[in-house]
Structure 1
Amino acid sequence: MNGPASVWTVAIVVAAPVIRTALAELRRPGSARAPWAFATNARALTAAALSTAVLGLVGMPTYGYGAAAWALLAGALVALIVDQRPSGG
């Protein structure tokens, strides 16, 4: 696994929702808070930190910084999944 290429891939994957949120904010001011609300949920952040630490500890010795970048992305996705609230209805 090529470390710099892997880090660039993660950066591109992360840039997509950030750009999407920025465009939504330009269209409707104040709308950017909802998609990123998972960043304030303590349970979601705990799950993200735990998964990031485990994946980072497993992958770093073999793959280096590329594994750390993917571990951070996986942690963010875990936080997003843990924060999902059941739909009312």
Structure 2
Amino acid sequence: MANTLLSIAVVLAAWVIRTAVAELRVPGGGRAQWAFLTDRRALATGALAALLLGLVGWATTGPAAAAWAALAGLLIASLTGTDEPNG
């Protein structure tokens, strides 16, 4: 389980570094990358994906799959998010 959490922390750290580089290149670029957190459709899609992946993963490999499912849900939400927030 510790290796799983460390691996996930490395992936999240790479994502944060990517955001920092985008912010250095274009002011506001980092904020634009995380705008999906205000998009209800993107969050719902990510949550559904995380739930389904978590259920399948838990049944096949155990509780370590839940952490990977949460990360996958976050990545899916970022991919399905729009550039402009839902107002």
TM range (shorter): 0.7 to 0.9
Q: How many residues matched?
A: 83
Cα shift at 1:22 = 3.4
Find the partner of 1:53 among 48, 51, 54. 51
Which of the pair has the greater relative contact order for Cα pairs under 8 Å at 6+ separation? 1
Paired amino acid for 1:45: L
Q: Which residue of structure 2 aligns with residue 13 of structure 1?
A: 11
- Asked whether the 8 Å contact 1:7–1:65 carries over to 2, the reply is no
TM-score by length of 1: 0.75
> Which has the higher Rg, Structure 1 or Structure 2?
1
- Asked whether the 8 Å contact 2:36–2:42 carries over to 1, the reply is yes
Find the partner of 2:67 among 44, 69, 78. 69
Unaligned runs of 5+ in 2: none
Closer/same/farther in 2, CA of residues 29 and 84 from structure 1, 3 Å limit: closer
* Higher fraction of helix: 2
Stretch moving more, 23-32 or 9-18: 23-32
Paired amino acid for 2:35: A
- Asked whether the 8 Å contact 1:51–1:78 carries over to 2, the reply is yes
**What is the root-mean-square deviation of aligned Cα atoms in Å?**
2.1
1:15-71 deviations in Å (ceiling 9; x for gaps):
111123235546765443111011111000000000000111111133233211110
Unaligned runs of 5+ in 1: none
Q: Which residue of structure 2 aligns with residue 43 of structure 1?
A: 41
TM-score by length of 2: 0.76
